[in-house]
Amino acid sequence: MSKKTSKHKTIETLERYDRRWPIGDPRRPDFHFCGARAATGRPYCEVHWRAAIQPLRTRLGQEAMIVPIRRAA
């Protein structure tokens, strides 16, 4: 599978493997989706994977662990 560069995609132009990270306000005409290929082993491209994760600190004060957080679209 070849790596595809990120292109702004609308709901009509999304393809099967395009990422569906929403960008902008869905009520505006410039709303679109990321459309980039997912990073290996991730549900999003690298940029949006980093945006989707938040550090989690344990009660014991150990180093932060990175875990995915579900966000509403």
Residue 54's domain comprises 1-73
Rounded Cα distance between 12 and 18, Å, is: 12
Length of the chain: 73
> What 3 state SS string does 35-54 have?
CCCCCCCCCCCHHHHHHHEE
Which of 41, 3, 51, 31 lies closest to 18, judged by CA? 3
Mean pLDDT of 43-56: 82
Q: Which is more confidently placed, 62 or 18?
A: 18
What integer pLDDT is reported at residue 31 of this predicted model? 94
Decide if pLDDT at 7 tops 50: yes
Decide if pLDDT at 32 tops 90: yes
Q: How confident is the model at residue 3 (pLDDT cuts 50, 70, 90)?
A: very low
Q: Which is more confidently placed, 31 or 52?
A: 31
User: How many distinct structural domains can be found in the chain?
Assistant: 1
